Structure formats: structure tokens, C-alpha cells
């Protein structure tokens, strides 16, 4: 096998002022980052386009699969623009208005047109993941008189939660539609929708993509009680989910989040969907060169739970140690997997190597046979050929012991697979016969030192050039592949 350590759990890092320079992006990729998140709530079109171009240039230079995820604001409520930051003291009365900017009136703006319709007297308004709390005393036109219950400092564009209110905002705003157009134009690899509340929200995003003749994979960010309530329906429409723990904790309470995280990861594994765990994973490293022991345990538990990917937000976007944070994240994931999984691997919940689980489709039955064959024969590697990345995703969801190498002729698929647990994507030349695919695969595996000649591998193929038609499993030695 390749000598350099590779954690099966992937790392998604958020780009921002601390990490957008080309040198930093390359260093972060070398430190273990598999994909970059572009927060569409921040920055202008020029800066966003520059970040996308920087990542694409870096991944081409380094010859690595690196995904780009555009994170839509969705029905996320934020503060408007003002400068400088403002300090609020407990017990003070504050006027809040609907607006994009503060203006000369000095009234705190919240950029949500339906604010006064959704909020009632006595409701709470939370800022900064619940760190600061206002209580509504009265409503006057488009203004709210509030009392500060928990004080602190607020800056422009920070997040706002209305946990006592029924938020009536549509899934997509005009800005979201513009951001989708940008994502399509700049050919990012994934798109994420904040505050996904129902399957209809995901369908709305897909309709916008199809208008532009592109079916990009969609990640549903679960951070609202309705998202939990409608989780199964959302999973049927989405291509992945994100456990967005910050707003989820604000909306539902901190104590329920660990259990919800485990439940969502398990469901995503059973649905064969990539799942990302996000928010405050190594938060202290925004200012400190090392994480706390509690943060290390948090990341390790996400790995143990079976997350495909762990995400860094402010740590890499605005933190002082973006590269070091990525290195720590990779070390935690690699060490956790090495100590717990390498000697005694567990497969996906509900799936045993000797059967007992009814296959969902002929393709899933074939994939399960490949995983079980690798497990029982102690094959070192499962080799999947894929057009769309689907077969790689299905193999990945079983959380089997063998390494997964997924080869494709399509560059977009190559980079999209970077978020999938355990998958090592590879590019091969376009071919016309399965025999040629195996010949290119043998060359690729030999070049990257994956196997010794006598070692076993499982090859997973299908009807040539037909997506979703995986139907053949071969258990062979590496020197018999070509």
C-alpha cells in the first residue's frame, strides 16, 4: 500500500481571509484537506471567483482530487452591515429594525424582510450561535424594541436565530438563485443548502440547477427542527447531508445535539449518502496553535460515528493557524482510525459479511458482494470503475476494511468523490473496452504503489459506459488484473 498516511475520514475546510492565498491553499491540501467550502454569505463575486480559481489551479498543480462546495445562505437570517462592532450590556433596551444597513439612525439592522411578521412579543432573538440573547418587548412598524438578556459584542453579517418563531422565509432567496448561477458558471463540484427544512427545499435547488442544464450534487444542511422531523424525506432528495451543529444547538438545545449527530450519521450511512459533521470542531485553534482535549475527542467521536467528512469553519476562514489546524484534524482522524479500526473493522450497521441484509437493488447486491468478498478474503483493495461516482459512494457507505480506489474518466466525478469516506479517486484515460480499463487501472495502481503483485483485490465493474449499471465482481490477484 502507499506509504504516506491517508485518513479515510475526509476534511472540508472553509476558505476566507486567512486561507485564500494560493500558497495557503496548496499548504492546506498538502496538510490533508480534501475539499474547500465557499461560504456564499460572505465576500463579493470577485473574491469568490478568485477563490474558486485558486483551488482549481492548486489541485491541478498538485495532481490531487480536491472538491469545491458552494454553501448557499438559504433561509439563514443575518445581521445587516454596520461598522465598527457594537457591545451590548445585559438589561439594556435596544431597538432592532428590518434592513440591510444601520444608517444614521443607529438602529441595529436584521436583514430579513419578514422579521416583524414572524416574531411576536416575548420571543427571543439569538445572535452568534446563541451567545447573545434579546427578548422582544414591543413591535412598532418595522422595528422591534428588545431587552438584552445576555450581552456581548456583535459584528456585521453575523447569524441570527428565532427559536420561538415560525420562520416563513422561502428555501431560496433571490441571492441564492444568483449564487446558484455563479456555482454553475464556475463549475464547482457540490452545492449545499442551509436550513433545509423539507424535501421541497432540495427540489427547489435542483430545479434551479436544471434550468441551467446541470445536475450538481446537493448537500442538505440539517440545522432546524423541521429538518430533523423531515430527515428521511430530505435524504431521498439530497445527495448528502451536513450535521450543522451550531444552529441545530441554538434551535433545539445543546444537550440533544450529540444524540442527533449519531442518529443522522447512522441514517446517512444506511441511505448510502455522504455525511459531513460541522461547527466548532477545533474552534479554539482560531486563536491557539493547539486544540483542546475536548475538541480532539469531538473530532474523534465524529470519526467513530462514521462521518464521511469533518469540517473546519472559522478555524481556516479567519483563524491564525489554518494550515496547522488541518494537520491536527488529519492526525486525529488517522490516529483514531488506526487504533480502533485496522485490526477489528466493523461494517455498516445492519450489514454482516455473511448476509442477513436484504439488498435494495441489483446494483446494491453487487456492491455488497464486493465488500463482503473483500472482507472475507482479506483483499487489500476494492477497485471501482465509475462514471458518476455512484458505485464508489455505495462501496464507501459499507465502511469496509479494504481500501477503495475509484477510477473515472470524468474530471468532475474525480473531484466530487473527494468527500466520500475512504475513497481514493483516480483519473484514467477514456477507453472503449473493459479490458483496456483494467490495463489502465493496473498501471495506475502500480504507479501509486497500492499493492504487491501477489496481493488480492476485488474489481467492481458494470455495463460499459452506463452509469448505475454495476453488475460484475472479480476477486483476483494484482498481477492478474491487466
> Do residues 58 and 415 lie in contact, with contact meaning Cβ atoms separated by under 8 Å?
no
> Do residues 148 and 92 lie in contact, with contact meaning Cβ atoms separated by under 8 Å?
yes
Confidence at residue 338, expressed as pLDDT on a 0 to 100 scale: 85
CA distance 248 to 294: 20
Residue with cell 414591543: 138
Q: 77-161 has which fold? A: M1 Pyruvate Kinase; Domain 3 (2.40.33)
At the top level of CATH, the class of 362-480 is alpha beta
Confidence at residue 360, expressed as pLDDT on a 0 to 100 scale: 66
Confidence at residue 462, expressed as pLDDT on a 0 to 100 scale: 73
pLDDT for 69-114, tens place per residue?
A: 999 998 889 999 998 999 999 999 999 999 999 988 889 999 999 9
Selection from 28, 17, 27 nearest residue 51 by Cα = 17
Confidence at residue 401, expressed as pLDDT on a 0 to 100 scale: 82
The structural domains of the chain, with segments of one domain joined by +, span 10-73+172-340, 77-161, 362-480
Confidence at residue 339, expressed as pLDDT on a 0 to 100 scale: 83
Query: Residues of the chain with pLDDT > 70: what percent?
Result: 93
Which residues of the chain are modeled with pLDDT < 50? 1-4, 355-357
Domain 10-73+172-340: give its CATH architecture.
Alpha-Beta Barrel (3.20)
Distances 95 to 66, 110, 148, 163, 170 between C-alpha atoms, Å: 45, 11, 10, 19, 26
By annotation, the residues acting in catalysis are: 37, 78, 221, 279
pLDDT for 362-381, tens place per residue?
A: 888 889 899 989 988 989 99
Amino acid at each position: 500500500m502507499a506509504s504516506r498516511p491517508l485518513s479515510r475520514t475526509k476534511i472540508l475546510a472553509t476558505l476566507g481571509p486567512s486561507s485564500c492565498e494560493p500558497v495557503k491553499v496548496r499548504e492546506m491540501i498538502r496538510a490533508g484537506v480534501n475539499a474547500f467550502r465557499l461560504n456564499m454569505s460572505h465576500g463579493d463575486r470577485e473574491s469568490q471567483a478568485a477563490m474558486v480559481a485558486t483551488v482549481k489551479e492548486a489541485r491541478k498543480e498538485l495532481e490531487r482530487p480536491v472538491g469545491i462546495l458552494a454553501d448557499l445562505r438559504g433561509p439563514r437570517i443575518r445581521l445587516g452591515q454596520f461598522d465598527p462592532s457594537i457591545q451590548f450590556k445585559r438589561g439594556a433596551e435596544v431597538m432592532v429594525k428590518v434592513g440591510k444597513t444601520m444608517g444614521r439612525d443607529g438602529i441595529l439592522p436584521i436583514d430579513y424582510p419578514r422579521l416583524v411578521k414572524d416574531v411576536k412579543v416575548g420571543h427571543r432573538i439569538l445572535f452568534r450561535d446563541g451567545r447573545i440573547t434579546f427578548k422582544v418587548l414591543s413591535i412598532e412598524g418595522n422595528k422591534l424594541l428588545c431587552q438584552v438578556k445576555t450581552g456581548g459584542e456583535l459584528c456585521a453579517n453575523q447569524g441570527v436565530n428565532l427559536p420561538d418563531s415560525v420562520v416563513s422565509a422561502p428555501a431560496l432567496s433571490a441571492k441564492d438563485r444568483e449564487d446558484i448561477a455563479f456555482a454553475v458558471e464556475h463549475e464547482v463540484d457540490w452545492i449545499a443548502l442551509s436550513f433545509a427544512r423539507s424535501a421541497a427545499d432540495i427540489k427547489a435547488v435542483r430545479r434551479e440547477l436544471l434550468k441551467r442544464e446541470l445536475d450538481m450534487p446537493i448537500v442538505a444542511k440539517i440545522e432546524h427542527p423541521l429538518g430533523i422531523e423531515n430527515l428521511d424525506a430530505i435524504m431521498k432528495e439530497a445527495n448528502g447531508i451536513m450535521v450543522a451543529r451550531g444552529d441545530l444547538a441554538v434551535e433545539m438545545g445543546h444537550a440533544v445535539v450529540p444524540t442527533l449527530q449519531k442518529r443522522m450519521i447512522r441514517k446517512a450511512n444506511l441511505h448510502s449518502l455522504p455525511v459531513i459533521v460541522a461547527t466548532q470542531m477545533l474552534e479554539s485553534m482560531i486563536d491557539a496553535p493547539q486544540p483542546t482535549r475536548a475538541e480532539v475527542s469531538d473530532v474523534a467521536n465524529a470519526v467513530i460515528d462514521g462521518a464521511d467528512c469533518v469540517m473546519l469553519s472559522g478555524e481556516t476562514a479567519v483563524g491564525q493557524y489554518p494550515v496547522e489546524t488541518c494537520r491536527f484534524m488529519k492526525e486525529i482522524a488517522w490516529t483514531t482510525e488506526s487504533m480502533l479500526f485496522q485490526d477489528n473493522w466493523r461494517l455498516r450497521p445492519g450489514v454482516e459479511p455473511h448476509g442477513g441484509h436484504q439488498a435494495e437493488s441489483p446494483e446494491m447486491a453487487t456492491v455488497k458482494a464486493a465488500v463482503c468478498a473483500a472482507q472475507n478474503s482479506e483483499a487489500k483493495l476494492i477497485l471501482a470503475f465509475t462514471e458518476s461516482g455512484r458505485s464508489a459512494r455505495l462501496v464507501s457507505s459499507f465502511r469496509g476494511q479494504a481500501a477503495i480506489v475509484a477510477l473515472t474518466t470524468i474530471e468532475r466525478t474525480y473531484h466530487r468523490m473527494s468527500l466520500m469516506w475512504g475513497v481514493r479517486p483516480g483519473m484514467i484515460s477514456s477507453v472503449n473496452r473493459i479490458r483496456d480499463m483494467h490495463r489502465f487501472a493496473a498501471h495506475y495502481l502500480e504507479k501509486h504503489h497500492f499493492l504487491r503483485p501477489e496481493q488480492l483485490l476485488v474489481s467492481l465493474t458494470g455495463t460499459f459506459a452506463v452509469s448505475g449499471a454495476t453488475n460484475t465482481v472479480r476477486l483476483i490477484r494484482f498481477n492478474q488484473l491487466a
